[in-house]
Amino acid sequence: MKQITLSLKGAVALEKAIDTVKKEMSRGSYKTLLFHIYSGVEDESVIRAVTGRLSMSFPDCHFVGTLSAGEIVDKHIPEKGIAVSAMFFETTDIKVLRGVDVKGNEKVVGMKLAEEANAIPELKALELLMPGTEFNTHILLDELAAVSPDVIIYGGYSGGHQLEKSEHYIFDENGIDDNAIYAIAYYGKDFHVQVDKSAGWQRLGMPFKVTKAEDNRLIEINNAPAVEVYEKYLQINRNDNFAEETFEFPLMASMDGEELLRHTITVEDNGTLVLAGYVLEGMDIYLSYGNPEDIIRKVDHRLEEVEMFNPQAILIFSCSVRKAFWENFAEIEIEPFAEIAETSGFYTWGEVKRNPDNGRLYEYNITMLTVAMREGDAEPLENRYRVDDTVLKGQVSLLKRLSKLVAATTGELQKAYLDLSLLNEKLEVMADYDALTGMYNRRKIEERIAYLLGEMKKNGTVLGTIMVDIDHFKEVNDTYGHGIGDEVLSILGKLCIKEVKERGGNLGRWGGEEFFIVLPGYDEEKTYEFAELLRKKVEETAFPCIDKLTISLGVHMAMENESRQEMYKKADDALYISKQNGRNRTSVI
């Protein structure tokens, strides 16, 4: 396998590129030729001229193209132009699967592509190119997860150099399409591929909750217009340059342990943020910032993996926001990969990678996907290629120092927030639960009863209630002391909680040795049966120092026309009958 990368500037450069590819084809015994075309030029007539000329010169080749926000030609990121990668394979086969009319049909298109991919023998990798911001990518990617789990899947979204423009399309020998997806299938027993991502952005401050979202439209955060997170915390107002001003502080969410960065494409009049990637309601989401030191560390870690793989060609799909972040130093994270093998790729509007552990496909922003390829086996490289960050000067150097300060203070703030959250949880437990028995306290059980009565009246269901009293509990305290009495209450509380929760009920401590139980959906017969079961279990339970402990119970069915106070009195009256008749029994009113 071999890759040649070429930068096209004008008709002469195109003819030289064609001549270079023809010479390589004549030198080697190649089976398959695949072209990638990455175009920063948005003029469709220029794109058609290039694709037409290549198709004419290499009628048996495969090729795919995408609009790009930056072109990668080996070690360099040339000025806005057209880059071509020619990949020569000796034993590997290529098949380009095409899904068309995707918008509104994401599920059907995804299912069809997965079915076609699964029919390809010895399929090793599936590379996706698409104008992702135009689709419901969440649905599409979920369907593509049906591709055999041992197949590596990765890709990038098309988009031009200008963030404020909505040009997103892919192209091939048949023309240009903004409503399609290409899936390039690599198959053959000698083909090997390794893919991973590098990020390096870190959380900033405390989490917010996504309270309203539709696909890639983030509508509300913490029940307020999403734009306010930037207006309030970073003083970035919704103006014409909003996307450019916010890209340094993208949002970070997580799903299944995957960190998902999201940068803003635009802001709508109502404060909705249109993101380069989907978000889901209920997600925790953070502001984040790029830490140059951490970015470089993660790229260096990826370089170690690529060295061990020893590829013959490398593809890079890197987010356009990374390029803007590095400004004039963007090449520093590209160059070391090009030292390992010929490298090509483009700056994207989003990246896709399959998680090998769960088989799902995730949509990323602000990551750099590096795709290492080779045919046959190879020994690990002995050279150590690393990012040379000594060239960083000016603002980037200052940012490195500021990032360390922000990381330290953010860590302290997050720890304080966690400590406060744990304290709030403890306070909530203290506010709602009886410390001795573990049951709800009187306030909380009355709150639950009010809710369940409302549900009963609204839905026409039944609600069983039970008042419970420990027989002769004063004698336990007087004879054995309050320490034993407290232990008895604790053991009895655990027993009652277990039995009531198993039946979907609630219970609370009503008074000193009185408990109140509510059982949604239980009629009189079932409520009485449960009361008797509980009574017998208590009678059979061993308590410290006491030969035998019993309880008396009063059962009453909540009535639609009675108040809570009337319901409590009926249950208490039933309990009184049990006590008057000798205790250790259940009575019904």
Token readout for 418 is 């966690």
Secondary structure (3-state) at 485: helix
Cα separation of 303 and 389, whole Å? 14
Q: Could you tell me which of 74, 61, 89 has the C-alpha nearest to residue 7?
A: 74
Averaged confidence pLDDT in the chain? 91
Tens digits of per-residue pLDDT, 309-343? 999 999 999 999 999 888 888 999 999 999 999 99
Cα separation of 74 and 454, whole Å? 69
Give the pLDDT score at 238: 84
Secondary structure (3-state) at 345: strand
- 24 belongs to the catalytic site: no
> Does 427 or 549 have the greater pLDDT score?
549
Element housing 4 (H / E): strand 2-8
Characterise 277 by phi-psi region: left (phi > 0), alpha (psi -120 to 50), beta (else).
left
Token readout for 377 is 């086996």
C-beta separation of 256 from 358 below 8 A: yes
Least confident range from 22-26, 211-215, 220-224, 402-406: namely 402-406
C-beta separation of 314 from 342 below 8 A: yes
Q: Determine what percent of the chain is predicted with pLDDT higher than 70.
A: 92
Q: Determine what percent of the chain is predicted with pLDDT higher than 90.
A: 75
Range with the largest mean pLDDT of 74-88, 196-210, 282-296: 74-88
Return the ∠ at Cα 249 (arms to 247 and 253), rounded to 5°.
105
Cα separation of 348 and 68, whole Å? 6
Give the pLDDT score at 412: 61
Cα separation of 366 and 347, whole Å? 10
Give the pLDDT score at 391: 67
Query: How crowded is residue 583: how many other Cβ atoms within 10 Å of its Cβ?
Result: 14
Q: In what order do the strands lie in the sheet with 586-588?
A: 506-509, 514-520, 463-470, 551-557, 586-588
Q: Is the dihedral of CA 252, 326, 181, 341 positive or negative?
A: negative
Token readout for 463 is 């609600």
State pTM to two decimals: 0.69
* Nearby residues of 339 by Cβ (< 8 Å), 6 or more positions away: 75, 383, 385
The greatest distance separating any two alpha carbons of the chain, rounded to the nearest whole angstrom, comes to 108
The type of residue at 585 is R
Whether the predicted pLDDT of 216 surpasses 80:
yes
Tell me the mean pLDDT in the region 211-221.
Answer: 94
Whether the predicted pLDDT of 464 surpasses 80:
yes
Q: In what order do the strands lie in the sheet with 351-354?
A: 93-100, 180-187, 123-130, 152-157, 351-354, 361-364
Beta strands in 415-477 (DSSP E): 463-470
Secondary structure (3-state) at 437: coil
Cα separation of 220 and 223, whole Å? 5
Element housing 579 (H / E): helix 564-580
> Does 410 or 365 have the greater pLDDT score?
365
Secondary structure (3-state) at 471: coil
Q: Could you tell me which of 333, 325, 314 has the C-alpha nearest to residue 403?
A: 325
Whether the predicted pLDDT of 401 surpasses 70:
no
Give the pLDDT score at 223: 95
pLDDT tier for residue 393 given thresholds of 50, 70 and 90: low
Burial profile 315-342: b = 16 or more Cβ within 10 angstroms, e = fewer: bbbbbbbbbbbbeeebebbbebbbebbb
* C-alpha dist (Å) from residue 178 to 50, 158, 169, 339, 476: 18, 9, 4, 35, 80
DSSP letters of 196-262? EEE--EEEEEEEEEEEEEETTEEEEETTEETTHHHHHHS---SSTTHHHHHTTS-EEEEETTEEEEE
* Catalytic residue from among 231, 513, 524, 532: 513
* Nearby residues of 400 by Cβ (< 8 Å), 6 or more positions away: 291, 292, 293, 392
* Nearby residues of 96 by Cβ (< 8 Å), 6 or more positions away: 62, 64, 172, 182, 183, 184, 185
Cα separation of 84 and 345, whole Å? 9
C-beta separation of 402 from 294 below 8 A: no
